[in-house]
Structure 1
Amino acid sequence: MISQSAGKIFLAEERGHNELNWFRSFNTFNFGSFYNEHKHPFESLYILNEDTLAGNRKISMLAENDSCIVLIPVVGAISFKDSAGNSGLLQAGQAQVLNVYAGTTLEISNPYEEESVNFLQIWIKTPDLQSTVPQLFEFDLDKNPNQLLELFSPQKKTLVKTVPQPHGVIGKFSGRSEAVYNPAQSGNALFAYVIEGNVEVQYRLMNPRDGLGLWDLEEMELEALSENAIVLILEIPVLKTV
């Protein structure tokens, strides 16, 4: 009998849902007016929102904690700027990492006049923030199928073994393709998020936009159960207990 590691699943159908005629947001964890006693943050990962923004519209966010913010366009492009002076334009196939202090404001806008865009916002609490230098990462899922590609990583000069850092990989897989992820730093928890398709992660079936948090793993195994399945794996620092 296969034993499952300790974990918690976050089903797409149970996400929070906030919608206006120009903006739609699905929230994996408690966010804004959405609250569910079973949807508390997973360790230091406290926001994972899938947002759709209409043409020529923008939203604003306020960092309540020192945070590592990862922005990933899924369909189209987004513009961003924060109160620390960072700004840019992101296309699908890119990931922007912003390391910000509490109190920083972030504005995300749709640069198109009419077309809607779809993107992911990932916010990770980083009480031991080492640097505020932004980082841009690029990846090509179609040219590198059936493997996990680096999505974002700590800056090398700040990678101190005693300070856990977030890390992320992403991959696009054909049906029945398999992969194994080995954490970059021991002691971190792992969080898998399926963007497209159906995937089995550590012997658990996951559908599009499902999330799965796992603890105490030396490696994470996954198998695509459909064609062109896209999965994101986040390495999340475990919160210190007093």
Structure 2
Amino acid sequence: MNTIKHTSESRGTANFGWLQSRHTFSFGRYYNPERVNFGALRVLNDDIVTAGMGFGAHPHDNMEIVSIPLSGDLEHKDSTGNTEVIRTGDVQIMSAGHGLTHSEYNHSKSNEVNFLQIWVLPKERDIEPRYQQITFSPEGRKNQWQTVVAPDNDQVLWINQDSWFSLADLDARMELAYALKKEGNGVYVFVIEGEVTVNSEELKKRDALGITGAEVINFSATKDARLLLIEVPMIKSPF
């Protein structure tokens, strides 16, 4: 088993006034040749957008884009006709496929929105763009894994890749294991809140750990913790 640890403090930063962002991987003006991707996982941005502000219409193609609001609500609009509000507790995915444009704004005029923006390289290129969002019950991830994105489960969000996203809210001292869905995949663990030990590696809030060469991964919460786990194929760097 091999691991790579990315602490919260080691992430790239961007501050545009209306947007404060922390970049786990190279993005925008932040470039680190050692942190371009983790397999098919290309982007993991931790964004805070001030009230009423956001990203104007801009294009994407051939990328699977997942948004997870951590607090506040996010307003989405795209060129395929979707206009939605993504609220805390929702997970959204957009398959950019052969190309579309979209915008994302803070839906509130008084409060910030904090959300994770995650990009995964697609399995098939130039598919028809598609959009989907689901509200997931908090009880479904209490001391267990709640799958929210998968290529093989019509009860969750579909992704154009052999990738699975799972959330878990662990009580302190709770232990949990994760068995990989596909042989050869890697797992990227991101600690949204709290503290957890992953296969003897201690992680704190917004720390992350990439793991390859494992079939089962063991977790033990040292404090109440909320985790995001992303399983992806270990493809080569996109650049």
Q: Same fold (TM over 0.5)?
A: yes
8 Å contact kept, 2:122–2:161? no
| Partner Cα distance (2:153, 2:171) in 1 | 32
Larger strand fraction of residues: 2
Instruction: Map 1:156-171; keep pairs closer than 5 Å.
Output: 156=153, 165-171=162-168
8 Å contact kept, 1:138–1:151? no
Instruction: Name the structure 2 match of 1:192.
Output: 189
Which 5+ residue runs of structure 2 have no aligned equivalent? 155-159
Instruction: Name the structure 1 match of 2:222.
Output: 225
Paired letter, 1:67: M
| Partner Cα distance (2:135, 2:12) in 1 | 29
Query: Is the alpha carbon distance of 1:131 and 1:8 closer, same or farther for their aligned partners in structure 2, counting shifts above 3 Å?
Result: farther
Report the count of equivalent residues: 230
Instruction: Name the structure 1 match of 2:135.
Output: 138
1:143-197 deviation per Cα after TM superposition (whole angstroms, max 9, x unaligned):
642111112112558xxxxx95111100101111011111222222111000000
Query: Secondary structure of the residue that 1:179 maps to in structure 2?
Result: strand
Instruction: Name the structure 2 match of 1:39.
Output: 35
Picking from 149, 153, 164, the partner of 1:152 is 149
- Does 1:92 find its partner at 2:88? yes
| Partner Cα distance (1:104, 1:50) in 2 | 23
TM-score under structure 1 normalisation? 0.87
- Does 1:215 find its partner at 2:184? no
Instruction: Name the structure 1 match of 2:53.
Output: 57
Aligned-pair CA distance for 1:202: 2.0
Query: Is the alpha carbon distance of 1:164 and 1:240 closer, same or farther for their aligned partners in structure 2, counting shifts above 3 Å?
Result: farther
Aligned-pair CA distance for 1:141: 2.7
Identity across matched positions, percent: 28
8 Å contact kept, 1:51–1:118? yes
Aligned-pair CA distance for 1:27: 0.3
Query: Is the alpha carbon distance of 1:67 and 1:176 closer, same or farther for their aligned partners in structure 2, counting shifts above 3 Å?
Result: same
Aligned-pair CA distance for 1:240: 5.6
8 Å contact kept, 1:166–1:237? yes
TM-score under structure 2 normalisation? 0.88
Instruction: Name the structure 1 match of 2:73.
Output: 77
| Partner Cα distance (1:8, 1:144) in 2 | 26
| Partner Cα distance (2:153, 2:223) in 1 | 36
Which 5+ residue runs of structure 1 have no aligned equivalent? 158-162
8 Å contact kept, 1:67–1:102? no
1:64-101 deviation per Cα after TM superposition (whole angstroms, max 9, x unaligned):
x5111110000011011223333311111110111112
* Deviating 4+ runs (over 6 angstroms): none
8 Å contact kept, 2:43–2:119? yes
Picking from 116, 120, 135, the partner of 1:120 is 116
| Partner Cα distance (2:34, 2:186) in 1 | 18
Paired letter, 1:106: H
Query: Secondary structure of the residue that 1:134 maps to in structure 2?
Result: strand
Query: Is the alpha carbon distance of 1:223 and 1:62 closer, same or farther for their aligned partners in structure 2, counting shifts above 3 Å?
Result: farther
RMSD over aligned CA atoms reads: 2.1
1:123-145 deviation per Cα after TM superposition (whole angstroms, max 9, x unaligned):
00114256643232332335642
